[in-house]
């Protein structure tokens, strides 16, 4: 992870942590648990630090690559979900009702943010594909970070083609690049977009090109 990505992870993760903490405070205010409020007041700095760390952790998980997410796919994901459910149920038995509500609301907030991001990305992909001339198509690939050099830019193209077992041939090795994938001609351009929660995501767009291009 680059320095820029670490800074973004720290900033956006901290904001996410504050959002989760605010949702928890709203739960406490709605439940009217004054005893819980009085008990928690001396520990507010610790609670705040805990939420900030939790937010950064969630953001770090969110930004990991599919390869790094190997524990969250396949059979491993089933065991992980089972362990998390058992752990949550065990811990919940020792928690007050207000704290249980706080956890449920935090989970709901994370789900809503994920859903907003999914809908936004789907809309962007649909708009890109609809904007292409008939008979042509575009593929948008999210990058872990912005390629700092031309070599890094070409490396991202080669890495993606290799991961999908595509035959790659350069026609013009420049930016934007003109390439052939399995005999078909494509232009590769850099781009970016903002997610609903403010994250900058750098992209490569593979657009099919005519032989005359």
Q: Which residues contact 207 (CB under 8 A, 6 or more apart)?
A: 132, 136, 137, 138, 186, 187, 188, 189
How confident is residue 52, by pLDDT bands cut at 50, 70 and 90? very high
Q: Hey, CA dihedral for 61, 65, 68, 73, is it positive or negative?
A: positive
Lowest mean pLDDT, pick from 3-17, 125-139, 177-191: 125-139
Evaluate if residue 119 carries a pLDDT over 60. yes
pLDDT surpasses 50 at 1: yes
Tell me what percent of the residues of the chain surpass a pLDDT of 90. 15
* Per-residue pLDDT at 211: 58
pLDDT band at residue 71 using 50, 70 and 90 as cut-offs: low
Confidence of residue 15 (pLDDT cuts 50, 70, 90): very high
Q: Which pLDDT does position 130 carry in this prediction? A: 54
- Phi and psi torsions of 164, nearest 5°: -100, 5
User: Which pLDDT band holds residue 46 (cuts at 50, 70, 90)?
Assistant: very high
Q: Which of 51-55, 96-100, 147-151, 207-211 has the lowest mean pLDDT?
A: 207-211
What are the sequence ranges of the domains in the chain? 3-63+95-119, 132-208
Determine contact, residues 104/174, Cβ cutoff 8 Å.
Answer: no
Whether the full predicted model's pTM is greater than 0.75, yes or no, is no
- Residue 135, pLDDT above cutoff 90: no
Structure confidence at residue 22 as a pLDDT band (50, 70, 90) = very high
């Amino acid at each position: 992870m680059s320095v820029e990505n670490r800074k973004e992870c720290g900033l956006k993760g901290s904001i996410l942590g504050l959002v989760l903490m605010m949702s928890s405070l709203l739960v406490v205010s709605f439940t009217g648990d004054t005893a819980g409020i009085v008990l928690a007041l001396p520990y507010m700095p610790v609670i705040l630090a805990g939420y900030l760390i939790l937010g950064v952790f969630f953001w770090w998980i969110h930004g990991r690559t599919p390869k790094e997410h190997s524990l969250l796919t396949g059979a491993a994901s089933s065991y992980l979900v089972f362990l998390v459910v058992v752990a949550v149920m065990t811990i919940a038995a020792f928690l007050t009702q207000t704290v249980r509500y706080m956890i449920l609301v935090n989970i709901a907030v994370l789900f809503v943010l994920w859903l907003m991001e999914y809908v936004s990305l789907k809309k962007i992909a649909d708009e890109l594909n609809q904007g292409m001339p008939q008979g042509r198509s575009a593929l948008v690939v999210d990058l872990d970070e912005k390629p700092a050099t031309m070599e890094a830019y070409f490396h991202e193209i080669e890495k993606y083609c290799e991961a999908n077992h595509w035959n790659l041939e350069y026609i013009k090795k420049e930016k934007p690049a003109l390439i052939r994938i399995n005999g078909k001609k494509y232009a590769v351009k850099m781009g970016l977009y903002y997610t609903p929660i403010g994250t900058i995501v750098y992209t490569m767009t593979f657009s099919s090109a005519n032989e005359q291009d």
